[in-house]
Amino acid sequence: MTRFPLQEYASLELNQVAFPKTGMVVSQTPLGTAFTKDAPCENGMWVVADKAAGAINPPAAATDKPIGIVYTTEKEYDIFHYGLKTFGRKVAGDYPRVGIFGLGDTVTTNCLQYNESTYSTFADLEEALKAAEAGTTPMYVVATAGSGVPTLTTSKPASGTYGKVVKYYTVPNGEKGVKYQIVSL
């Protein structure tokens, strides 16, 4: 898998989501050991907030539930590290904010990955995203087992949480991103 191009860390814009109003927010559960300094938790990652186990981890399987999205408020560390793209220094034991997905939730993010055997270059992926936006060939955002970074695919999943690409767009800091809507839980 290849990550969507980023300058440093992924960023996220909540376009239309229900979890702040419905109370489906997890904020007092620490990150699990899957997140390290080399593999930090970033905004836009899909995670499973397992309160009973006391940890937030990437989904172990694509059908894990409930899946939520990390949307922690960005911080400016110093004058050399500012803006949305520099926030992602969350490691095991830290407390991110996670919104549990509901049907119809719509977000824009660049926290995505794609299969390089399907799209050999990023330009190929861009063409597929433009086709999805035009309604020619639908594209989906699906959970990735063992990774917090969701995957772009043209294969519609049979079950589990997934979203449908709405628009090939930009994230708030100007980097390329994808707007998607959750269509199945």
Span 66-91, pLDDT tens digits: 899 999 876 666 666 555 555 665 67
CA distances in angstroms from 43 to 9, 40, 85, 137, 181, listed in the order given: 8, 10, 10, 27, 17
Write the DSSP assignment of the chain as a string of letters. -EEPP-SSS--EEEEE-SHHHHT-EE-SS-B-TT--SSS-B-TT-EEEEETTTTEEE--SSTT-SSEEEE-PPP---BTTB-SGGG---B-TT----EEEP-TT-EEEE---EE-TTT-SSHHHHHHHHHHHHHTSS--EEEEETTEEEEEEESSPPSSSSEEEEEEEEE-TTS-EEEEEEEEE-
The stretch 110-134 carries a mean pLDDT of 94
pLDDT at 161: 93
Query: Which residue's entry shows tokens 């936006």?
Result: 133
User: Tens of pLDDT along 10-33?
Assistant: 989 999 999 999 999 998 899 999
Tokens encoding 18: 């229900």
How large is the average pLDDT for residues 121-129?
A: 94
pLDDT for the residue numbered 68: 95
* Domain definitions of the chain by residue range: 1-185
Are 64 and 143 contacting, i.e. CB atoms less than 8 angstroms apart?
yes
CA–CA distance, 150 with 5 (Å, rounded to integer): 14
CB atoms within 10 A of CB 16: 9
Yes or no: say if 100 and 26 are a contact pair by the CB < 8 Å rule: yes
What pLDDT does residue 94 have?
86
